[in-house]
Structures are given as C-alpha cells and as structure tokens.
Structure 1
Amino acid sequence: MELDSGTLTKLRAFEAVGRHLSFAKAAQELYVTPAALSHHVRHLEEELGVPLITRLHRRIELSPSGMRLLPECSQALQILSRAVREVKRTDQQETLTVSVAPYFSAKWLTPRLGRFWAHHPDIDLRLHHAYQPADFLTDNLDAGINWCPGDWPNAESTLVLHGRLTIVCSRAYLKQLPPDPSPHDLLDHRLMFEFSIEHLIRWFEASGVNLPAPPRADQVDDSHTLRRLALDGHGAALFFSGLIHEDLRTGQLVRPFDVEIDPGSAYYLTRPKDRPVGRRLKLFTAWLMSEIATSPYV
C-alpha cells in the first residue's frame, strides 16, 4: 500500500474519528463534513481489506483492526506534525519558547529577565506558563522549567533550584499557637499543602509525631495562592523552601520548627532528548546557570 497524499488524508480522517469515536466531533476538528470523513474511512477500509470502524445505532466503535491501527497512526501523525514545525523554525526567527511553572516564573525568573534581554536582544524569548512539566512530544516547545523529578520522560534534565518542604506561617498566626509550640500542636490548627498529603504525613513523621490517621488539611494546588493564604494568616503551610527566602528574611513568614523533608522533586530545566541543542537554548541555559550560581534564591 503506497502512502500517497490521498492515503495520508484517509489516515488522518480515521485517526480523528477513532480518537473521538464520533464522525461529528472529528469533522469539527478537521473542518470537513461528517459525510466526507465517512467516505475517507470507507475507502481506507477498502484499501486495507479490513473493517476499522464498527457502525452501531447512534454510535461507533473501533474494530480489532482499528484498535491496532489507531495508536500507531496517532503517533505517526504527531511525528510528522512535529517535523513540519521543526522545519518551519529558522535561526532567522531567533524565537525561544520555554514552558515555565507560573510561581517560579513570577518569583524567580521574571525579576531577572532584564539581564537576559540585555545580553541577548536578538532572542525572542516566549514564556508559556504551565503547571504540568513540558511535553515535548505534543507541545511546540524548546525547553521547560518545571517542578518535576529529574528523570522526566523524553527529556534531558538539568537541576535549576532545589529545596526542602517546611512548615511556614505568618507571625500573626504563630501567636495562635501555644507558647513554645510542638509540631503536635499543629494538628489542632489549619494546615495547608500543595502537592500531596503524603508530604505532610512525612513531615509529621520526621517531627516525631505519631499519626493514627492522615492529618486534616486543605490542599491548595497553586503556589501563589498557598503563599498568600499563609501570609494573610489563614493557616500553617507546607511550602517549598527554595522560593521563600525573602519572605523568611523579612519576617513576613516564619518557620515555627526546623523540620524539613525532601519533596522528591525540584525545579529542572528540561529539553527534548532527541533534538539537537540550538544556539538560542545554549545561550539561555548558560545565562540561567550563571544566575543560579550567583544568586540561587529569592
């Protein structure tokens, strides 16, 4: 079977229909009619000599052959799409697109960007803010700076900022605790965390507190909001120490206890494992590592 332009069109039609399990939704995605998609899929089935879609009353499902073909087809189309994007990129554009965790961007990266632009005015740095680590298989990105383990899939990782998880609160909230408080006293007060209740359990275990059950606590899955709640005196927060040095230095936040735990993640610079490192990314990486070496914390 020759993969000419007509066959690629049919495969693209099948992939969209199989992914959505709907001719109507696939048609909206590809900006064609459902009838045209049905026509393409039927022709592909005729060329392959096997059914790919089982048409039922008011719904469709993949045949066994369709289930085998769909993941391979999806991956192949993603590879083609990525290759086309790469070809479109030229050094004349000098664009560098980096995915960055929003809190890291606001607290650490953004205040320093003036120095990067001063040294590299020819590079158009575009920041894409995302909570999830960069996915280089599907996203049009050159690099990412995100909170993740060091062994992120399909990526080469360089440590940017590490730290520990520690309990912090405002001075006003500290006054609500008993004089000379113990970690056990926190169980009678509002606790907040960002990533996982397991981190909070581990913190109490490291403090020598025996927990018969997980502590009652509120999850706040945004670093900005968690910090604001702690600053405003709404509770004690388990927070990443690497991005609150200034808050602790000025006394806006305090650490009632010296106990810290390893979160198992940190802020890493990630880049695609299977892609050559271009000039722009090399310059950005060198600048980033220089900033880390001279002033790692905020």
Structure 2
Amino acid sequence: MQRIPSMQALRALESFARHGTVWKAADELNLTRSAVSHQLRLLERELGFQILNRIGTRIELTQQGLGYAADIRQALSAISGSASRYAGRGVSGAITVSSTPGFASNWLCNYISAFREAYPDVRISVVTPRRLDDVSNPDVDIFIAFGTGNWPNMQVERLMDTEFSPLCSPALLYKIGGLGEPEDVKKACLLHLTDHEDWQNWFALTGVDRDYAASGIIFSDMNLVFAAALSGQGIAMGDRFTCRHAMESGQLVRPFDIGISSQRSYYLVASEAKADSQAVVAFCYWLRSEMLEIDADA
C-alpha cells in the first residue's frame, strides 16, 4: 500500500482549500503561517504531483490540488463520522445549549436528531438569547454565539466565518422585474436585523448610495427577517450557511454573487467550569463533525 501522508499535512490542505488563504488555515489549526506553508510543500513533494500554483507571494491550488483536497475532505468526514458513531456509547448527562435564533431555527433544528442518535443517553435543551453575543446565562452549558470572539474568562473556539449577501424570494424577484445590478435593490424594501450595518457595508462594496441603507424595516430577531423575506416582503442580508435549506429548496435566491465578509463569526463558548463535562465535550465533537460533513458536500 502506498504510504499515507501525515495527518497534519492533510488537515492543512483541507483547511487551506476550504478557506482559500494560508493565514485562515493557520488560525483554524493553531499553527503559524509558515508551518502551514511548510506542510503544503511537504505534501506536494510526497505526492509527486503539483497541487500548488505560486503567484507572487500568494499560493492557490491547482485543479489536481482541488480534486485531491475534495477527496481528503470526504475521507476526513468519513473518519469523523465513524468516530462519532462509537463515541456516544456510555456518554450520559444533560446539556443546555444556547444558540442564536437564526442558527438554531435554520440549522440546528434540522440536524439535532443526529446528535440524539449518536448520544441517546444525553438529554438536551436548546434556548435562544436576546443578544447574538450573549454568553451570560448561568444555566447554559455551551453557547453558539455570534460575535468578535472576545469573551474573557471563557473557553472560546471559532466555529465558522460568515459572508452576507442579499437574499429574496423568487416571487419578489418576479414582481419587481428582476435585479440586474446592485442599484436595483432600491426597487424593493430592505430588511434589517437590529441595525443598518450589513446593508451599509454591502452598498459601500458595490458603490450604491449608502444613505439608502437607512430605509426599510428593522427586526429584532433573524427569524422575523427570514419570515419577511420568505413571504416576499423585501430583500434580506443572509449567509449561505444558515439559509442553506431555504436556498436549496428554492424558497430564497441569491440575485448577486457579491458578498461581504463579516467581522463577526460563530463561536463555541463555554465557561471553564463546564467546558470539560462529558455532555459538553460530546456536543462540541458532534457539531464539529457535522460542520466538516457539510463542507464535504458543498
């Protein structure tokens, strides 16, 4: 059997392929940028074919590299899934998970039964906070929070970065005669979550008058924003992760291939006292496995 490359090199390749930059892969793997670059070079040498293109100081994957990375992602997902099927045996207890409303209703509620199947002896409760970055509830064991990652005296792990772009229903798109260019969003009502920031940033990126971002309707909950968008009341700013099912089913469409990278991300947050509990460790392990599997299917 041909020698299998090191797991660290394969994880470096998978992370680099998913994020597109060495620094993001290094951040995720808790390595230096030079260490990730070194692992990629060693892997290329060991494989015997070119997986990297070097353009000035930047590197990108070749077509062979992209194909190999996709295979590795599926293999890592299979390994992770196999481990999770056996890890649940003997794990018991109770866990309360606090999740942002959008993440809870649009993702967690669609996959939570898989956790119950993997860990049938763990009792789980899901609650939602008032603020997306709130990790103060003492009754909660693990938080899925959306913020900058600055939670002192807590164990913090970044779960996923986000990119926002306009989303709307096909019915609205038909009603307003389509959206040919960014300026055309002015033909519809803008839907906001708590403030105008996301639309202001998108207008700044696309050259649309930022003053128009102050128009429209502000909602206090992402579920309300989605409900309004689904019923054709306007155009929302959403990310492809939490809106995945609505987009795959055709309920929401992305009229522009232009997104803004958020300065905030999804994080797993737990107090030092609760982070090592059996049920919390099991939930975090399961959630990471699901994230990896979704990336493999993307």
Same-fold status (TM-score > 0.5): yes
- How far apart are residue 163 of structure 1 and its match? 2.2
**SS across alignment from 1:227:** helix
Match of 2:254 in 1: 255
Match of 2:140 in 1: 141
Q: Deviations over 1:81-117 (max 9, x none)?
A: xxxxxxxxxxx98222221223322221223222222
TM-score (norm 2): 0.62
* Distance of 1:241 and 1:105 partners within structure 2: 15
* Distance of 1:276 and 1:169 partners within structure 2: 39
Q: 1:192, 1:235 within 8 Å by CA — same for their partners in 2? A: yes
Q: Deviations over 1:170-197 (max 9, x none)?
A: 1121123355622112224211111431
Match of 2:68 in 1: none
- How far apart are residue 226 of structure 1 and its match? 1.1
Q: Deviations over 1:104-163 (max 9, x none)?
A: 222212232222222222222222222324434x52221111222222343222223332
RMSD: 2.7
Q: Deviations over 1:47-90 (max 9, x none)?
A: xxxxxxxxxxxxxxxxxxxxxxxxxxxxxxxxxxxxxxxxxxxx
Q: Trace 1:139-218 onto structure 2 (pairs within 5 A).
A: 139-178=138-177, 181-211=180-210, 214-218=213-217
Work out whether 1:123 is the aligned partner of 2:127: no
* Distance of 2:139 and 2:207 partners within structure 1: 47
- How far apart are residue 239 of structure 1 and its match? 1.6
Match of 1:45 in 2: none
- How far apart are residue 214 of structure 1 and its match? 4.5
Unaligned runs of 5+ in 1: 1-91
**SS across alignment from 2:98:** strand
* Distance of 2:245 and 2:212 partners within structure 1: 34
* Distance of 1:233 and 1:145 partners within structure 2: 29
Letter in 1 for 2:145: N
* Distance of 1:214 and 1:229 partners within structure 2: 17
* Distance of 1:224 and 1:212 partners within structure 2: 25
Bigger drift between 194-203 and 275-284 goes to: 275-284
Bigger drift between 200-209 and 100-109 goes to: 100-109
Aligned residues: 207
Q: 2:179, 2:185 within 8 Å by CA — same for their partners in 1? A: no
Larger radius of gyration: 1
Q: 1:98, 1:125 within 8 Å by CA — same for their partners in 2? A: yes
* Distance of 2:169 and 2:267 partners within structure 1: 29
Q: 2:179, 2:255 within 8 Å by CA — same for their partners in 1? A: no
Match of 1:270 in 2: 269
Q: 2:156, 2:267 within 8 Å by CA — same for their partners in 1? A: yes
Q: Deviations over 1:2-35 (max 9, x none)?
A: xxxxxxxxxxxxxxxxxxxxxxxxxxxxxxxxxx
- How far apart are residue 260 of structure 1 and its match? 0.8
Q: 1:193, 1:239 within 8 Å by CA — same for their partners in 2? A: no
Letter in 1 for 2:289: S
- Change in 2 beyond 3 A, CA 1:184/1:212: same
Letter in 1 for 2:225: L
Match of 2:88 in 1: none
Letter in 2 for 1:289: R
Match of 2:244 in 1: 245
- How far apart are residue 257 of structure 1 and its match? 1.4
Letter in 2 for 1:207: T
Letter in 1 for 2:279: R
* Distance of 1:93 and 1:212 partners within structure 2: 54
Match of 1:234 in 2: 233
* Distance of 1:117 and 1:99 partners within structure 2: 17
Q: 1:102, 1:130 within 8 Å by CA — same for their partners in 2? A: yes
Q: 1:165, 1:238 within 8 Å by CA — same for their partners in 2? A: yes
TM-score (norm 1): 0.62
* Distance of 1:276 and 1:204 partners within structure 2: 40
Letter in 2 for 1:174: L
What percentage of residue pairs aligned between the two structures are identical? 25
